[in-house]
C-alpha cells in the first residue's frame, strides 16, 4: 500500500496516464510517424507541472482542507523536488528535438497550466487562479490535456494548420468530452473541501448527486461521438470496444460515494483513461 501511495501521490501515475494517452494518438491520426520524444516530454512535463500544482503554497492550505495527497506531499516534498529537478533536466536534453514552432505552440498550454495554480486574474476582492473561475476547472483540464496529448503529437510531426482541419477537430472534441467525463468525479471527490474553500465547482454548484448525473450525460455524449465516427466507417469492432468502455464508465460513476478514498477515485478514473488509450490503440490496429 505504501508503494501504491507513492506511485499515485507523487504524480508518477498521472504522468504515465497522460503518456499512454499521448501514445494512443499515433494510432488515431493517420500519416504521423511515432516519435518517442513526444510521449517522453509529456511524461516529464506532466510530472513536473502536477507536482508544482501540489506543492505551491501547500503549507497555506487549512488543515481541514488537506487530503491524503497533501499530507503525503508535505512528508515527501524534498524527494519530489529532487525528482522535479531531474525531470526538468531531462526535458531540457530533449528540447533540441523540437523546432521553434513546436515550442511556440506549447507556450499557450504552459501558460494555462501555470495560471491554473498561480493567481494572475485581478478581481474586485483578490487575484484569481484559473481554477477559481466558477465552474471552469474541468473544462480547462479537458482542453489542456487534449491539446497536449492529441494536438501536440500532430503539429510536431506535421504543422500547426493540421489541427484546424475538420476531421481533427472532431477527434479533438471527442477526446475532450471523454476527459471531461472522467474529470467531473474528481470535483465530486473534493466537493466538501472546495465548498469550505469557497470554490464554485460543478460539484459544489449542482450537488454530489446532480454532478453524478452530469457525468452520466457527458459520458453518453462521448459515446455518441465515438459511435457516430465508427458507424460512418462501418468499423463495428471499434464500436463494440467503445461500448465496453462506455458501460464501465457509467458503472464507475454509479459507484461513487462521498466517502470514497482518494486512491479509489484516482485508480478508477485515471485507470479509465488508460483503458480509453488502450482502446484507441486497439481500434487503430483493426
What pLDDT, on the 0 to 100 scale, is given for residue 271? 93
The whole-number average pLDDT for the span 98-109 is 89
Q: Which one, of 95, 63, 72, 29, lies nearest residue 261 by Cα?
A: 72
62 or 25, which is more confident: 25
284 or 226, which is more confident: 226
Mean pLDDT, all residues of the chain:
90
Maximum distance among all Cα pairs of the chain, rounded to whole angstroms: 55
What pLDDT, on the 0 to 100 scale, is given for residue 191? 87
In the structure, what pLDDT confidence band is assigned to residue 214 with cuts at 50, 70 and 90? very high
In the structure, what pLDDT confidence band is assigned to residue 147 with cuts at 50, 70 and 90? very high
The per-residue b/e assignment along 224-248, b for 16 or more CB within 10 angstroms, e otherwise, is ebbeebbeeeeeeebbebbeebbeb
What pLDDT, on the 0 to 100 scale, is given for residue 12? 95
What pLDDT, on the 0 to 100 scale, is given for residue 3? 86
Task: Please state, in angstroms and rounded to a whole number, the distance separating the CA atoms of residues 116 and 124.
Answer: 19
What pLDDT, on the 0 to 100 scale, is given for residue 88? 96
What pLDDT, on the 0 to 100 scale, is given for residue 164? 87
250's CB contacts (< 8 A; 6+ apart) are 216, 219
What pLDDT, on the 0 to 100 scale, is given for residue 39? 97
For residue range 176-213, what is the model confidence (pLDDT) as tens digits? 999 999 999 999 988 888 888 788 888 899 999 999 99
What pLDDT, on the 0 to 100 scale, is given for residue 183? 94
What pLDDT, on the 0 to 100 scale, is given for residue 280? 93
The whole-number average pLDDT for the span 1-19 is 91
Amino acid at each position: 500500500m505504501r508503494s501504491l501511495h507513492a506511485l499515485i501521490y507523487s504524480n508518477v501515475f498521472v504522468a504515465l496516464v497522460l503518456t499512454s494517452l499521448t501514445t494512443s494518438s499515433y494510432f488515431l491520426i493517420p500519416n504521423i510517424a511515432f516519435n518517442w520524444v513526444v510521449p517522453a516530454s509529456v511524461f516529464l512535463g506532466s510530472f513536473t507541472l502536477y507536482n508544482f500544482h501540489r506543492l505551491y503554497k501547500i503549507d497555506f492550505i487549512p488543515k481541514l482542507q488537506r487530503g491524503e495527497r497533501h499530507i503525503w506531499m508535505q512528508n515527501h516534498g524534498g524527494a519530489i523536488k529532487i525528482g522535479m529537478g531531474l525531470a526538468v533536466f531531462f526535458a531540457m536534453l530533449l528540447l533540441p528535438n523540437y523546432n521553434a514552432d513546436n515550442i511556440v505552440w506549447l507556450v499557450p498550454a504552459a501558460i494555462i497550466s501555470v495560471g491554473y495554480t498561480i493567481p494572475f486574474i485581478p478581481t474586485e476582492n483578490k487575484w484569481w487562479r484559473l481554477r477559481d473561475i466558477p465552474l471552469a476547472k474541468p473544462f480547462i483540464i479537458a482542453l489542456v490535456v487534449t491539446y497536449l496529448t492529441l494536438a501536440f503529437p500532430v503539429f510536431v510531426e506535421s504543422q500547426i494548420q493540421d489541427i484546424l482541419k475538420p476531421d481533427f477537430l472532431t477527434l479533438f472534441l471527442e477526446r475532450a468530452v471523454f476527459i471531461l467525463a472522467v474529470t467531473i468525479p474528481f470535483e465530486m471527490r473534493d466537493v466538501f473541501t472546495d465548498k469550505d474553500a469557497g470554490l464554485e465547482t460543478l460539484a459544489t454548484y449542482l450537488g454530489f448527486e446532480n454532478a453524478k448525473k452530469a457525468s452520466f450525460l457527458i459520458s453518453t455524449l462521448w459515446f455518441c461521438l465515438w459511435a457516430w465516427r465508427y458507424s460512418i466507417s462501418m468499423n463495428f469492432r471499434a464500436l463494440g470496444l467503445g461500448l465496453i468502455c462506455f458501460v464501465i464508465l457509467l458503472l464507475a460513476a454509479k459507484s461513487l460515494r462521498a466517502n470514497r478514498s482518494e486512491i479509489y477515485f484516482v485508480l478508477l478514473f485515471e485507470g479509465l483513461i488508460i483503458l480509453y488509450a488502450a482502446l484507441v490503440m486497439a481500434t487503430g490496429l483493426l
